[in-house]
A = this chain, B = another copy of it.
Amino acid sequence: MPSKSTSSFKDGRISKISEATISRLPAYYRALTQLADSAQVRVSSEELAAITGVSSAMLRKDLSHLGSYGTRGVGYEVEFLRYQISREMGLNHDWPVVIVGVGNLGRALAHYGGFGSRGFRVVALVDSDQTLIGTKVKCGAEGKTVDLLVHALSDLEDVIKETNARLGVVATPAESAQGVSDRLVKAGIRSILNFAPIHLSVPDGVDVRKVDLASELQILAFHEQRKAV
């Protein structure tokens, strides 16, 4: 992970938020959403930290990078803090997502409800398999499903242009992943979520996050093996 710290302008000053902090913000956001759903108004750093599994000191320091949104002696207002995090993370925007590779995993991702709920909207499915192209796949979880046509891989650039997709998900086999990535980048995509078990080379300015299921199991196996000794 190339942990560059990101800088931005907030009320005039330049604030730097470390990569480690950013990676924890989604968990805070989710916990706050959960608290808001149960109508809780205030929360202490101690409580929020317990829910998200971090130390309260770390939580406070993380939040302090966003601004001073808590009240000493009291805690944080759930809704207010939630809004601040969502704004900082761009979750109030709309994020059109294109999924390349409509195999088992791609389909599971398309169905996945967690995306739609937070500004992420699967707007296009692309695959190279002739038997899949032209078929329709249900996207989104219960309540708000949309049938999406599977487009041909050769139409990738056009599909991205038409749908204005900003985020690309690579759910193809390892062999085709780099090629797909190159075309996504050429089509203007600068943020890629990669499920293929391979390192993607991308030019500067393009972010890639990797989710590697087999690696995770291997890491677990490593620890499991150590326990047995």
Contacts and interface: CB of A to CB of B under 8 A. Distances in A.
A131 interface: no
Given A90-B221, A205-B227, A226-B8, A214 B119 contact: no
A216 interface: yes
A203 to B, nearest CB: 13
Nearest to A218: B26
Interface string A50-90: 01110000000000000000000000000000000000111
Given A95-B224, A167-B220, A107 B104 contact: yes
Copies of this protein chain in the complex: 2
B115 A222 contact: no
A30 interface: yes
A9 to B, nearest CB: 7
Interface in A181-207: 190-193, 197-201, 205, 207
Nearest to A106: B108
Interface string A131-147: 00000000000000000
B220 A209 contact: yes
Given A93-B221, A114-B197, A220-B191, A6 B226 contact: yes
A219 interface: yes
A22 interface: yes
A6 B166 CA distance: 40
Contacts of A117: 214
Interface string A106-133: 0111011011011110000000000000
Contacts of A192: 220
Contacts of A119: 221
B26 A212 contact: yes
Contact of A112 (B105, B190, B199): B105
A223 B197 contact: no
30 contacts: A6-B223, A8-B226, A9-B229, A22-B222, A25-B218, A25-B222, A26-B218, A30-B198, A30-B214, A51-B199, A53-B199, A89-B221, A89-B225, A90-B221, A90-B224, A91-B221, A93-B225, A108-B108, A114-B213, A114-B214, A118-B218, A120-B214, A120-B217, A191-B220, A191-B223, A205-B227, A207-B223, A209-B216, A209-B220, A211-B216
